């Protein structure tokens, strides 16, 4: 199996599984508790159906949309994901270059392995930075200042990781960052010599953006979970979020908003966007899926905030449904990480091309010339709600 | 596999299966008929989704709640279950001490294998005695008197076992109390020698609340279904329950209430609480799950008595959902029984500790710091 055999999520996932040591694969692939929310995130798209209009002479549909003050060429972008260097030795550099080539957002995690400055030097394309509020406020402030200097377009603050989710696959595989060899995982690392070779000969693994401020996650083998629990501030509240919005003073999103009430407060503190997300089913299992929840939120605040749907998107038709339900754009994490693991920059480009073509094809089949024409009249929910 | 590999309900179940002779494992694991209700008890939680609120400042979470006039540190407790020394030689001693450590309620069954007097000498934390209404009125009076003398806080009358459920796994494995060696179970007992050694050497198997009155279960082998069908009084009615309630003269609950009508009657006869329960799916298969039925009951009587949701809980998030609907507390049997079988007191403590850690984590992720912060605004039903 190679990249050219990858047509969909399952294919990218399979190829990634082949290439990655198992603790690392399962870190991407897993969710929290029983993974019910993880599964529901994708399943929920199947509870509603698209109703096409025919004979609409759509020609070449316009897939562009505006978010975070930038026009992007298609309504899907790469979610911020931590530690991409674990999945491919080029890590964030590969993702950033691929996103730039397809005219859409690359997002950088606070826990990226490349620096803000490195990435901004190699991509002039749309860039979003994902912020965690650390207990040490100087870390948070420093990140915001550096993003401004480096020309990032938008900032998103993750609000659903006050405490780490119960990711049982990681308990079982003993996943840590940087990867630690245990007797249990040894076999799996040994079975993936190419990964190990690339990991060792390329630049040293570090949490580049916070490396000078904390040695956690860089020098000692820490599980991500411990990092989250030790470094992030569980007392974070709306005032702290407002401080970040003001300090950034540009397009700003809260990532991980699920309730209508919180979406309204996001407007009050000056956010321009929200990302409806349950962290890819990796935090609170049993929480509602973004797609199940988007309509209630877009009915309430859709005219005042850019709504981004994050979680469960695996198909062009999922993107179409999300837009019809009120999203300005979607983002995905797992799916693009599998493509990154499967083939680095080339893998991500292959994925973006595939999803672009699906969205394009489906727009034509729906009879829609642009994303504005995709409205709630194009959707019918199977269970009345 | 050992205790430190147990991260959740299903891990404990697997370890219990490894440790127990199969008739005993299947007695815990099984339910009535096709086990549809048993499965629904848990899957019902998946038809409702949680909607968190963010940025609330949640560094400290208080999980305590008050039931039957007692403050307990956790919003869940150990339901009374029968025959615990069959599952681990320490039986009720192990569960009681673990419950004490977490300061939560411990339910002791009439079919317990350790006496109320001994339990009461071991733990000073809240205790509930579960009572079956026997034909033998002398036995009934003795149970009430002994529980009262042993300072039990709550009396719970089980009302859903008027006859035995059709537990087909027990029919196939030939499970009885005390365990009987049959040709078909011989192999299974022989392959778990540790269980056999402990059973035979760690003190005689007894049913201390019953054995002065009945032989069944101790000196005469009996299946549980058969015990319910022959020893319990099928003529039991509301007036009997009312008399027991006033005779007890303290916190009194009916365990196994499912209809709103019955919940209201429970209030009328003076109960201070009810357990919404279908006996873990072990009695009437096809009956509604406690969680599916909870909202109707809370709406009808939630302001008058403590409504406890019992059955199906395998996760902290399941409990969060029941508490959001309005349950005062959650309870379960298998919740801790697999862990008991897996490793005795240490197992139960690990299980209770994990549920507690899950609840704390889930409360933070929900943006809630105390149980009373949870309400139905947190929930969306997928099918309405």
Write the CATH number for B353: 3.20.20.70
Q: How far is A168 from chain B (nearest CA, A)?
A: 7
Among B57, B320, B358, beta carbon nearest to A237: B57
For residue A215, what pLDDT is reported?
63
Q: CB count, 10 Å around CB of A147?
A: 24
Residue B338 near residue B16 (C-beta atoms within 8 A): yes
Mean pLDDT of chain B: 95
The answer to whether residue A35 neighbours chain B at the CB level (below 8 Å) is no
Which chain A residue shows the shortest CA-CA distance from B49?
A288
Helices (H) and strands (E) in chain B, counts: 15, 12
* Distance (Å) from the alpha carbon of A58 to chain B's nearest alpha carbon: 36
- Digit-by-digit pLDDT tens for chain A (385 residues) are 899 999 999 999 999 999 999 999 999 999 999 999 999 999 999 999 999 998 888 899 999 999 999 999 999 999 999 999 999 999 999 999 999 999 999 999 999 999 999 999 999 999 999 999 888 889 999 999 999 999 999 999 999 988 889 999 988 888 877 777 676 777 888 888 888 888 888 888 888 888 766 666 665 566 666 777 788 888 889 999 999 999 999 999 999 999 999 999 999 999 999 999 999 999 999 999 999 999 999 999 999 999 999 999 999 999 999 999 999 999 999 999 999 999 999 999 999 999 999 999 999 999 999 999 999 999 999 875 5
pTM of the model: 0.90
Nearest Cα of chain B lies from the Cα of A286 at a distance, in angstroms, of 5
* Domain-located, residue B150: yes
Question: Is B190 inside any structural domain?
Answer: yes
Q: Which domain holds residue B247?
A: 3-371
Task: Tell me whether residues B49 and A235 touch, CB distance under 8 A.
Answer: no
Which residue bears the tokens 């049993």?
A286
> Out of A237, A265, A287, whose CB is closest to B52?
A287
Burial A39-78 (b: 16+ CB within 10 A, else e): ebbbebbebbeeeeeeeeebeebebebebbebebebbbbb
> Which structure tokens are listed for A197?
């070779």
Q: How far is A55 from chain B (nearest CA, A)?
A: 35
The total number of structural domains in chain B stands at: 1
Instruction: Please report where in the chains the tokens 């298998």 appear, as a residue.
Output: B334
Query: Taking a C-beta distance cutoff of 8 angstroms, is the pair A94, A87 a contact?
Result: no
Rg of chain B on CA atoms, in Å: 20
| Residues in chain B, pLDDT under 70 | 384
ipTM of predicted complex: 0.85
> Can you say how many angstroms the Cα of residue B384 is from the centroid of all Cα atoms in its chain?
30
Q: Which of chain B's residues have a Cβ under 8 Å away from the Cβ of A258?
A: 51-54
Nearest to A235 among B52, B57, B360 (CB): B57
**B4 at the A interface (CB within 8 A)?**
no
pLDDT of residue A175: 82
- Active site (catalytic) residues of B: 279
Catalytic residue, chosen from A279, A318, A350, A356, is: A279
The rounded radius of gyration (Å) of the Cα atoms in chain A is 20
Asked if B380's CB is within 8 angstroms of A284's CB, the reply is no
Give the pLDDT of residue A187.
80
B365 contact residues in A (CB cutoff 8 A): 160, 162-163, 165, 283-284, 287
Quick one: closest CA in B to A44, which residue?
Answer: B382
43-62 in chain B: CB under 8 A from chain A: 45-46, 48-59
Residue A224: its pLDDT value, please? 67
Look up residue A222 and give its DSSP letter: B
Beta carbons of A168 and B55 less than 8 Å apart: no
Instruction: Please identify among residues 111-150 of chain A the ones whose CB lies closer than 8 Å to any CB of chain B.
Output: none
Nearest to A235 among B59, B358, B380 (CB): B59
The label of the residue with tokens 């199977």 reads: A382
Segment 152-191 of chain A within 8 Å of chain B by CB: 159-160, 162-166, 168, 171-172
- Looking at residue B30, what is its pLDDT? 96
pLDDT value of position B220? 84
Q: Which residue has the tokens 């038809």?
A: B47
Query: Per-residue pLDDT tens for B340-360?
Result: 999 999 999 999 999 999 999
Domain map of chain A by residue range? 3-381
Cis amide leading into A178 (omega within 30): yes
Per the domain annotation, does B35 fall within a domain?
yes
CB contact under 8 A, A293 and B380: yes
CATH classification (class only), A3-381: alpha beta
Q: Is residue B384 part of a domain?
A: no
Q: State the residue for tokens 């009615």.
A: B237
Q: Is B293 part of a structural domain of the chain?
A: yes
Interface-testing mutation among B12, B47, B54, with chain A (most A C-beta atoms within 10 A): B54
Contacts of A237 in chain B (CB under 8 A): 55-57
Interchain contact, A162 vs B7, CB within 8 Å: no
Q: How much is the pLDDT for A217? A: 61
Q: Is B18 helix (H, G, I), strand (E, B) or coil?
A: helix
| C-alpha distances out from residue B264 to A262, B101, B300, B328, Å | 38, 35, 7, 17
- Domain membership of residue B169 (yes or no) is yes
Determine, yes or no, domain membership for B379.
no
Res B179: pLDDT: 85
In a domain, B179, yes or no: yes
Q: Is A136 left (phi over 0), alpha (psi -120 to 50) or beta?
A: beta
Which of the 8 DSSP states describes residue A287? B
Is A279 catalytic? The answer is yes
Distance, in angstroms, between B366 CA and closest chain A CA? Answer: 8
Give me the phi and psi of B29, to 5 degrees please.
Answer: -75, -25
Taking CB atoms and an 8 Å cutoff, what residues of chain A touch B358? Answer: 33, 166
């Amino acid at each position: 199996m190679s990249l050219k055999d990858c047509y969909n999520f399952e294919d990218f996932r399979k190829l990634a599984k082949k290439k990655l040591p198992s603790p690392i694969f399962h870190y991407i692939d897993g969710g929290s508790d029983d993974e019910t929310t993880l599964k529901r995130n994708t399943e929920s798209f199947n509870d509603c159906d698209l109703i096409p209009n025919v004979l609409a002479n759509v020609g070449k549909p316009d897939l562009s949309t505006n978010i975070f003050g930038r026009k992007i060429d298609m309504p899907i972008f790469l979610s911020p994901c931590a530690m991409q260097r674990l999945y491919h030795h080029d890590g964030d550099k590969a993702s950033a270059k691929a996103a730039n080539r397809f005219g859409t957002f690359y997002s950088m995690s606070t826990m990226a392995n490349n620096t803000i400055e490195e990435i901004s030097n190699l991509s002039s394309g749309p860039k979003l930075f994902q912020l965690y509020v650390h207990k040490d406020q100087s870390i948070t402030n420093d990140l915001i200042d550096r993003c401004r200097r480096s020309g990032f377009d938008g900032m998103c603050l993750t609000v659903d990781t006050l405490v780490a989710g119960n990711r049982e696959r990681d308990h079982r595989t003993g996943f840590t960052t940087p990867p630690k060899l245990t007797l249990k995982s040894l076999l799996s690392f040994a079975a993936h010599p190419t990964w190990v070779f690339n990991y060792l000969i390329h630049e040293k693994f570090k949490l580049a953006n916070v490396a000078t401020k904390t040695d956690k996650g860089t020098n000692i083998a820490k599980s991500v979970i411990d990092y989250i629990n030790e470094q992030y501030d569980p007392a974070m509240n709306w005032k702290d979020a407002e401080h970040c919005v003001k300090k950034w003073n540009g397009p700003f999103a809260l990532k991980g908003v699920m309730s209508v009430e919180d979406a309204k407060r996001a407007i009050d503190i000056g956010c321009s966007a929200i990302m409806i997300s349950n962290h890819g089913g990796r935090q609170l299992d049993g929480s509602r899926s973004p797609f199940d929840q988007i309509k209630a939120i877009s009915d309430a605040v859709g005219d005042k905030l850019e709504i981004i749907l994050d979680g469960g998107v695996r198909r062009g038709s999922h993107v179409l449904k999300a837009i019809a339900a009120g999203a300005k754009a979607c983002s995905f994490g797992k799916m693009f990480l599998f493509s990154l693991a499967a083939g680095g920059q080339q893998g991500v480009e292959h994925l973006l091309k595939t999803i672009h073509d699906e969205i394009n094809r489906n727009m034509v089949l729906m009879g829609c010339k642009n994303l504005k024409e995709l409205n709630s009249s194009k959707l019918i929910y199977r269970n009345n709600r | 596999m050992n205790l430190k590999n147990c991260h959740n309900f299903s891990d404990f179940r697997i370890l219990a299966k490894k440790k127990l002779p199969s008739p005993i494992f299947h007695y815990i694991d099984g339910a009535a008929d096709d086990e549809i209700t048993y499965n629904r008890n848990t899957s019902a939680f998946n038809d409702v989704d949680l909607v968190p609120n963010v940025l609330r400042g949640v560094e400290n979470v208080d999980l305590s709640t008050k039931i039957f006039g007692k403050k307990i540190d956790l919003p869940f407790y150990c339901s009374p279950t029968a025959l615990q020394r069959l599952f681990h030689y320490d039986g009720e001693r192990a569960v009681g001490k673990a419950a004490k450590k977490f300061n939560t309620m411990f339910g002791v069954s009439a079919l317990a294998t350790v006496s109320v007097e001994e339990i009461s000498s071991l733990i000073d934390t809240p205790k509930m005695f579960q009572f079956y209404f026997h034909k033998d009125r002398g036995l009934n009076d003795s149970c009430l008197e002994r529980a009262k003398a042993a300072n039990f806080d709550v009396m719970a009358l089980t009302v859903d076992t008027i006859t035995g459920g059709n537990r087909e796994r027990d029919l196939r494995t030939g499970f009885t109390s005390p365990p009987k060696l049959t040709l078909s179970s011989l192999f299974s007992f022989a392959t778990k020698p540790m269980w056999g050694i402990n059973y035979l050497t760690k003190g005689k198997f007894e049913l201390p609340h019953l054995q002065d009155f009945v032989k069944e279960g101790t000196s005469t082998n009996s299946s549980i279904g058969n015990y319910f069908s022959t020893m319990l009084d099928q003529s039991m009615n509301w007036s009997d329950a009312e008399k027991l309630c006033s005779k007890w003269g303290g916190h009194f609950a009916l365990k196994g209430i499912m209809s709103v009508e019955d919940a209201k009657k429970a209030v009328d006869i003076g109960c201070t609480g009810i357990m919404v329960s279908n006996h873990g799916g072990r009695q009437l298969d096809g009956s509604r799950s406690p969680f599916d039925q909870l909202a109707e009951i809370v709406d009808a009587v939630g302001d008058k008595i403590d409504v406890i949701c019992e059955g199906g809980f395998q996760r902290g998030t399941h409990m969060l959902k029941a508490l959001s609907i309005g349950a005062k507390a959650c309870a379960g049997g298998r919740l801790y029984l697999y862990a008991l079988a897996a490793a005795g007191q240490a197992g139960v403590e690990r299980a209770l500790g994990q549920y507690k850690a899950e609840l704390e984590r889930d409360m933070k992720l929900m943006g809630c710091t105390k149980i009373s912060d949870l309400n139905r605004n947190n929930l969306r039903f997928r099918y309405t």
